[in-house]
Structure 1
Amino acid sequence: MLGPVEPGGVRRSPEERERIRREAEEASYELGKGLPESLLRLRRLLRHAVKASIASNRRLMVVLSSDDPVKVGVATASVLIAYESLVRKLKGKGQIRVLYAFNESYEGSQLRKELVKRSVKERCNMTKLTITKAEDARRYLGTTFQGLVLDLVDDLKPNRIGILTGIVEGGGIIVLQVPSWDSWDTRVTEFKRNLLVPGYSEPRHVFIAWFKRKLLEHNRNVFIVDLDKDEVISGEPIRPSPPKERRAEVPKDARFPEEVYRLALTQDQVNAIRAAEWLIEPPEEDGRKLLVITADRGRGKSCAAGIAMAGLISAWLGSPRRRRIKVVVTSPDLENTQSLMELAGRAFEALKMEVSVERKGEEVIGFRGKGFRVKYVRPSEVPEQEADLVVIDEASGLPVPLLHRIWRAHRRILVASTVHGYEGAGRGFSVRFLGEVRRDPRTELRTYEMEEPIRYSEDDPIEAWLFDVLLLDAEPARLEEQDLVDIREGRLSYVVTTPEELFSEKGEGLLRQIFGIYVQAHYRNEPDDLALMADAPHYSIRAVATSSGKVVSAALLAEEGGLSPELSAPSSTRTRLRAT
C-alpha cells in the first residue's frame, strides 16, 4: 500500500508527478483487460439501478473497497464509463458533470485520481471531471453535479460527506472509495490522528464501524464491492416508479409578475417567492426587514432567492422611485451563488429585461440593467457597501459576528440557509444570530421553511442514508407529563455509557437522544462532532434520564492533563511570564 506524505500544502517534484503519471498510464491498461467478476456483476446491477433511478429521480451510490489504489482506480473508472453508457442509452447525449474529491497529501489518492482522470478522458465523451481537493468541499455548496467520486481511503470527515453528497441530483451516481472492508474499522485515518492528545497513542475505532453498518442497512441503491475478495457484498436496485408529480400554482393576488412565478418548480418555491413580496415596501424609519428562507439541501432555496431577487428589482423599477437600484449578493464562496445567479438571469429573461451579465471566468458575478445593478461581494466587505437589498446565500457558512455586522449595516436582507449544519457553522445561524435578531425591536423578521425536494425525489435512498448515518435529524426526546413529574420530584437516574454501547444497534436510540441534546444545546455542533464523540479516546459520555428512560440532560466530558514534563514546562513558563 502506498503511504502518506506530509499533510498540508503538498508540492511534488516534477519527477514525482511524472512517476505517478506513468503509473496511472500503465494501470489504465487494466481497463482493456477482462474485468473481475465483482465488477461484471456490479455492471449488471447498475443497468437496473440507473434506469430506475433516472425514471424516479433518485440517486444511487457505489462503495469500492480495497487498499490497492490500482484496483480502486480501475473500478472507479469502470463505474463511470458504465454509467455514461447507460445514461446515453436512456437520455441521449448530454454532459455528465462529475466532481472528484481527492486527498492531496496521499500518494495513493494521487494515483487513483490520475488513473480515473486518464481513463475517463480516453473512454468517455460525455463525462466532464472537475477535480478538487477534499478539504475544499465547502466551495461546492449550492452547486449541482450528476456524479461524485469521494476518496475516503485515508480520511473520513463527516462534514465533507454531508456537503458533497448533497450536490448530486436525482438520477446521479456517487462513488465512495474506501480501504479494505475487513480492516477499515481500525484504520487510523487523518481525522482520527487529529483526535489524539497527550497520554493517548491510539484513537477509538467506533465511528467507521457505525458508518459501515449504516451502508449495509441502507442497501436500496447502495452497492458495496469488496475488490480484494472480488464480490458484491451488498446492494439492491430500487424498483422503477414515476417521481411525485409537482404542482406549482401562481398566487392570484401576487405583486410579482406571473412570469416570475412560472419559473418555480414546486409550491414550496412559489410560497418562498411570495414571502419575498413583503420586502417590496421599505421598513419603518430606522428599522430593518429580514426574510429568512431555510431548507435541507436540494429544496431549491437558492433558486427561489434568485427568482425573488429579480421579482423585487422588477417591482421597484415599476414604482415611482427614480434612483438606481443596488443589490448585493454574498455567500461563503462565489461558487455557492451560481444557482441563485442562474435563476435570477432566467427571471430577467422571462421578464424581457435587457441585462448584461458580468462574469469572472465561467462564474457569474453580477448583472447590469437599466436602472439597477446586481453584484457579488465578498462577505467581509458587505457591511461597508451601499445597497437597497442584500441577498445572503448559504448564510450558515458565515461567522456569526460577520452576520451581525451585515444585519446592522443594511435595512432589507433576504437570506437563504441550510437547516442541518452541513456548512460547518452548526446551529450558530439559527441559535445565536436569529436569536439576537428576534430580540431586536427594530427588526421585522419573517421566516419560511421549504420541505419539498427538487434536486432529487422525496424518498431518495441516499438522503435517507445520509440523515441516518450523520444523525442530521436527531432531536431530544419528547417529554410526557410523567417525565415532567419525574423532573419536579427528582426521580432521575444517572446514565454512564460508552461510545461502543451508544453506536451499537442496541444503543442507537439513546445515542439519538443524547446527540439531539448536544445539537440543540451547543450552537457550533456539526456532523464532525459525531465522529469525535465516537473516536476521541479522552472523551466520555454521561446523561440524566427519567424513569421512562428519556434523557433530559447530557454531558460530553474531556479528560485533560497527563502532560509530559517536556510539554508542560513551556506552558508553565508562559503562565509565569503572564502573571508577572
Structure 2
Amino acid sequence: MSAHPMPARQCVVSYSTREEALERFSTLCQGLDDCLLVSHISADIPPNTALQQINFKALQHQLGNTYEAIFLDLSGGLHLTALSILAGTLRGGGLLVLHLGADWLAREDCELARFLPWPLTSEQVTSHYKTLFWHALHAPESPFTRVWPSLLTPYHLTQTTLTPAQQHFVTQVLAQCSGTHILLAARGRGKSYALAELLYQGQQQGLRCVCTASSPHNLSTLTEHYQAVAQSPAPFVAPDALLQAEQHYDVLVVDEAASLPLPMLEAMLEKAQCLVFSSTDYGYEGSGRGFGIRFRQQLKAAKRPCQEHHLTSPLRWGENDPLEHWLDQLLFQEYQAGPLLEQQPSYVTGAQWQQLPQLLDQAFALLVNAHYQTTPENKRWLVDDPSVITFCHYQDDRLVGVALVSVEGELPDDLAEQVMQGKRRPRGHLLPQSLLAHEGIAEAGQYRYWRISRIAIAADYQRQGLGSQLLKRIAQQAKAQGVDFVCTSFAATTEVVQFWQHNQFTAVRLGTAQDQASGSYSLMMLKGLNDHSKALTQQWSQYFAEDWLSTLALRLRDLSEPLVIAISHTLAMGENPHMAQLRAKDVSDLTLFCHQHRPYDSIRAPLLRLVLSGLAKQSFSPAHADALLLLGCGLNQVSEKDAHQLGFSGKKAFYQHLKSVIASTLSQLK
C-alpha cells in the first residue's frame, strides 16, 4: 500500500455551455489514463486524450471500473443512478464534473417521464425532487464548487499486500474452508482485491476455487488483481453454467450477489464446501443492506448458519471523503429511529416533501432496509410521481412505518379495450392492466385502485401489528376518497401471503413467470371498499380459483408446498371443482397402495385428486410436515429420490410414512 496521504476527490458543478465545459474537461484529461464522458449527446473527442464516451444505457458495465476524471452531463435531466454508480468509480484526487448548464431548474427534465404513469407527461409535471437535489448541491456541506481545478493529481492505488482487515477476512475463510460467509462493504473498500487474494491463496493451498457474478464486467477489478498475482486468468464461471455442471468446488465466490435471483443463490449452496457471497453494503448495486437481511433470513430458514464480514476503511479514496459523505446523506442514509424535528403528517405527496427533507430521508432509509431491490431512483419516484402517496406511521415521535400507494385505474373504455387486446401497454396502472391483459376482465379498467406497492416497518417494531394498522388507515382514507379497491402485487412467499390474507385481501391473479430478482411469482390481491367492489372481488377471485387447481398441476410445480397451501387459503372455491372430486375408485386404489402391494406409479392420478380435494377444502396446514409431504408427492415435487433430504433412512422408510399419511387422510374423509 502507498504511504502517501490520499488527495480528496474534486467536484465541480458546471453552468456554462456544454462545449465550454467539455473543452475545459478535455484539457484537464490530457496526460491521464482513464477519463469518462457520460451524455445523451455524442461529442467530438479531442485526439491524444484517454477520454472514453458512453451513453446512459451503458452505465451497468461501469460498476467494476475506476476513473481519474468523469464528466456527467445532467443538462437534459437528473439521473440519480448515473451519479451513484459513477461516484463509486472515481479515484482519490480525481475529478467529477456535474454539467447542468444554464437555467437547469427551469428547463424540462427528459428523465422525469420514466417516473410518470399514463397520461402524465414531463411537460405537465413539476419535478419537486429536482429542487431538493438543487438545494443539496448548494448546501454548505456539498463538495461541489464552480471553481475548476488547474491540475489533476489522481491517486493510483498500488496495493501489493492485504490490509489487516482484508487479511483477517481471507485468513478466517480459508482457516474454516467450510460454511457460508457474507462479505458486505461499501464501494471502494478493497472488496474485489480481498476476493482475488482469497481465490489465489486458496488455489495455492490446493483448493478447487471458482468465482461467479451476474456479469463478467462487474468482476473486472477482481479479475485484474487475480491476473496480477497469479499470472493467469481468474477462475470465472457464469452462474447458469455453474449450476448446470456437476462440478463441486472447495471455495465458491459469488460477487455482487444482490444482483442474482435468490433461488439461484440458494442453488449455489450445494455447489461448494465453502461459499462467499459478496455484496455492496449500500449504493447502486441492489442495496446490499436489504439483501443481507433477506438472504440471512433464507439461510436461517434453511438451517444454514452464516458468518458476516465487513470492510469499512476506504482504499479508492481517503477517509471522510466529502463526496462519499454527501452522497450518503442524499441517497444512502442508514435508518435511525430518532425523534423527528419536523411535523408528522399522516401521508405525504408531491410538493409537500420539499418542507419535509428529514422525513423523506427516514422514509427512504426504511424502504432500503426492507426491500433489497430499492434503488436511488425510487427516492425520486416517490417525490415526483403525483400518483404516489406515502403513508407514515409514528410511535414515540419516531417514524417506524411507511407504505407507498400508487393511484391507478379509471382508464378510458377504448384504452382498456386495447390493453385487453394486447395492443397497448401504457406506463403505470399495473393492477387494472394486468386484470385486463392477462385475466380478460373487461370492466377492470374503469374502477379506482390504490395499489400498495411497498410497505416497511422498522426492525425493532415488527410483529406488533403496526403493518396491519397502517393498512387499515390506508383503506379508511381510500374509502373516504371514493376509491373502489385497495390492492397489492408482491413476490409471493408463504409469510407475506398470510399477512395480506390476515388483512382481508383476496387473491385474484398469480403471475406466469418468476421475478428475475426475487425468483418468486407475483401475486395480486384485492380488497373491495364498497358493496359493488366487494362483490367484484369475490367474482374475480372465483375466476382465479376455478383455474388455480388445474394451473397448479400443469405448470406451477416449482411453488413451495407451504406457499401453495397459503394461496389456496385465500380462495373461496365453493363446491369442489370437477378435477378435485375424489371418486370411490380413487379411495379404493389409494387404500390398496396403503395396505397391500399396489405400485406407487399406478396411484399417481388418484393421489393428485386427493391432494387437489384437500386444497379445495382448505384442509391442509402449511405448518404440518405430513401435509407438505402429501402435497409434494401429489404435485410431483418430491419423490423417493428425496428420501434422505427429507429425513428418512431410505426409500422403504419414505414409502412407509407416505402410506400412513395417505391412510390417515382417507380416514378423515369418512
The equivalent of 2:240 in structure 1 is 380
**In structure 1, which of residues 135, 156, 171 is the aligned counterpart of residue 93 of structure 2?**
171
**In structure 2, which of residues 333, 340, 352 is the aligned counterpart of residue 473 of structure 1?**
333
The equivalent of 1:413 in structure 2 is 275
Q: Which whole-Å CA distance do the structure 1 matches of 2:266 and 2:15 have between them? A: 45
Contact kept? 1:193, 1:203, Cα under 8 Å: no
1:312 aligns with 2:197: no
The equivalent of 2:172 in structure 1 is 275
Measure how far apart 1:175 and its partner are. Answer: 1.6
- SS of 1:528's partner is helix
1:200 aligns with 2:120: yes
> 1:505-547 deviations in whole A, cap 9, x for unaligned?
xx22222222222222323211110010111110112212235
Measure how far apart 1:425 and its partner are. Answer: 5.9
The equivalent of 1:555 in structure 2 is 403
1:434 aligns with 2:296: yes
Measure how far apart 1:502 and its partner are. Answer: 2.7
> 1:426-481 deviations in whole A, cap 9, x for unaligned?
6553132232013322x3411111110000011211111211222x023041489x
Q: Which whole-Å CA distance do the structure 2 matches of 1:183 and 1:173 have between them? A: 21
> 1:240-283 deviations in whole A, cap 9, x for unaligned?
9xx9xx9xxxxxxxxxxxxxx9611x332222222222343xx4
- SS of 1:449's partner is strand
Alpha-carbon RMSD = 3.2
Measure how far apart 1:161 and its partner are. Answer: 1.5
Q: Which whole-Å CA distance do the structure 2 matches of 1:329 and 1:128 have between them? A: 31
Q: Which whole-Å CA distance do the structure 2 matches of 1:169 and 1:500 have between them? A: 36
Contact kept? 1:427, 1:522, Cα under 8 Å: no
Q: Which whole-Å CA distance do the structure 2 matches of 1:477 and 1:143 have between them? A: 36
Contact kept? 1:432, 1:523, Cα under 8 Å: yes
The equivalent of 1:98 in structure 2 is 35
Is the alpha carbon distance of 1:199 and 1:338 closer, same or farther for their aligned partners in structure 2, counting shifts above 3 Å?
Answer: closer
The equivalent of 1:34 in structure 2 is none
Is the alpha carbon distance of 1:186 and 1:552 closer, same or farther for their aligned partners in structure 2, counting shifts above 3 Å?
Answer: farther
Measure how far apart 1:96 and its partner are. Answer: 2.5
Q: Which whole-Å CA distance do the structure 1 matches of 2:311 and 2:140 have between them? A: 26
Is the alpha carbon distance of 1:295 and 1:503 closer, same or farther for their aligned partners in structure 2, counting shifts above 3 Å?
Answer: farther
The equivalent of 1:329 in structure 2 is 211
Provide the aligned length of Structure 1 versus Structure 2. 415
**Larger radius of gyration between Structure 1 and Structure 2:** 2
Matches within 5 A, 1:518-537: 518-537=367-386
Measure how far apart 1:219 and its partner are. Answer: 6.1
Measure how far apart 1:64 and its partner are. Answer: 1.9
Matches within 5 A, 1:272-311: 272-280=169-177, 283=178, 289-311=179-201
In the superposition, the TM-score normalised over structure 2's length comes to 0.57
**In structure 2, which of residues 316, 332, 335 is the aligned counterpart of residue 455 of structure 1?**
316
Is the alpha carbon distance of 1:479 and 1:209 closer, same or farther for their aligned partners in structure 2, counting shifts above 3 Å?
Answer: closer
Contact kept? 2:180, 2:276, Cα under 8 Å: yes
The AA in structure 1 aligned to 2:131 is A
The equivalent of 1:78 in structure 2 is 24
> 1:149-203 deviations in whole A, cap 9, x for unaligned?
22222243322211111001101111222242x343552323x112222353433
Contact kept? 2:258, 2:291, Cα under 8 Å: yes
Contact kept? 2:34, 2:68, Cα under 8 Å: yes
Contact kept? 1:390, 1:412, Cα under 8 Å: yes
Contact kept? 1:328, 1:382, Cα under 8 Å: no
1:131 aligns with 2:13: no
The equivalent of 1:390 in structure 2 is 252
The equivalent of 1:57 in structure 2 is 7
1:144 aligns with 2:62: no
Contact kept? 2:349, 2:386, Cα under 8 Å: no
Is the alpha carbon distance of 1:495 and 1:160 closer, same or farther for their aligned partners in structure 2, counting shifts above 3 Å?
Answer: same
Q: Which whole-Å CA distance do the structure 2 matches of 1:204 and 1:185 have between them? A: 9
**In structure 2, which of residues 412, 423, 438 is the aligned counterpart of residue 564 of structure 1?**
412
Contact kept? 1:61, 1:174, Cα under 8 Å: yes
Is the alpha carbon distance of 1:179 and 1:558 closer, same or farther for their aligned partners in structure 2, counting shifts above 3 Å?
Answer: farther
The equivalent of 1:157 in structure 2 is 79
Measure how far apart 1:557 and its partner are. Answer: 1.4
Is the alpha carbon distance of 1:207 and 1:168 closer, same or farther for their aligned partners in structure 2, counting shifts above 3 Å?
Answer: same
Q: Which whole-Å CA distance do the structure 2 matches of 1:467 and 1:532 have between them? A: 18
Contact kept? 1:186, 1:205, Cα under 8 Å: no
- SS of 2:404's partner is strand
1:263 aligns with 2:140: no
1:575 aligns with 2:440: yes
> 1:476-519 deviations in whole A, cap 9, x for unaligned?
41489xxxxxxxxxxx9762333433344xx2222222222222
- SS of 1:560's partner is strand
Measure how far apart 1:148 and its partner are. Answer: 1.4
Contact kept? 1:185, 1:209, Cα under 8 Å: no
Is the alpha carbon distance of 1:536 and 1:141 closer, same or farther for their aligned partners in structure 2, counting shifts above 3 Å?
Answer: same
Is the alpha carbon distance of 1:545 and 1:220 closer, same or farther for their aligned partners in structure 2, counting shifts above 3 Å?
Answer: closer
Q: Which whole-Å CA distance do the structure 2 matches of 1:136 and 1:159 have between them? A: 12
Q: Which whole-Å CA distance do the structure 1 matches of 2:344 and 2:96 have between them? A: 44
The equivalent of 1:21 in structure 2 is none
The AA in structure 1 aligned to 2:323 is I
The equivalent of 1:517 in structure 2 is 366
The equivalent of 1:217 in structure 2 is 139
Matches within 5 A, 1:539-554: 539-547=388-396, 549-554=397-402
Q: Which moved more, 1:412-421 or 1:449-458?
A: 412-421
Structure of higher RCO (CA pairs closer than 8 Å, 6+ residues apart) = 1
Matches within 5 A, 1:1-16: none
Gaps of 5+ in 1: 1-53, 89-94, 104-108, 225-234, 247-260, 284-288, 318-324, 349-354, 358-365, 368-373, 481-491
Q: Which whole-Å CA distance do the structure 1 matches of 2:68 and 2:94 have between them? A: 5
The equivalent of 1:338 in structure 2 is 220
- SS of 1:575's partner is coil
Matches within 5 A, 1:27-38: none
Q: Which whole-Å CA distance do the structure 2 matches of 1:148 and 1:275 have between them? A: 37
Q: Which whole-Å CA distance do the structure 2 matches of 1:479 and 1:64 have between them? A: 37
The equivalent of 1:184 in structure 2 is 105
Q: Which whole-Å CA distance do the structure 1 matches of 2:106 and 2:169 have between them? A: 44
- SS of 2:138's partner is helix
Q: Which whole-Å CA distance do the structure 1 matches of 2:131 and 2:287 have between them? A: 26
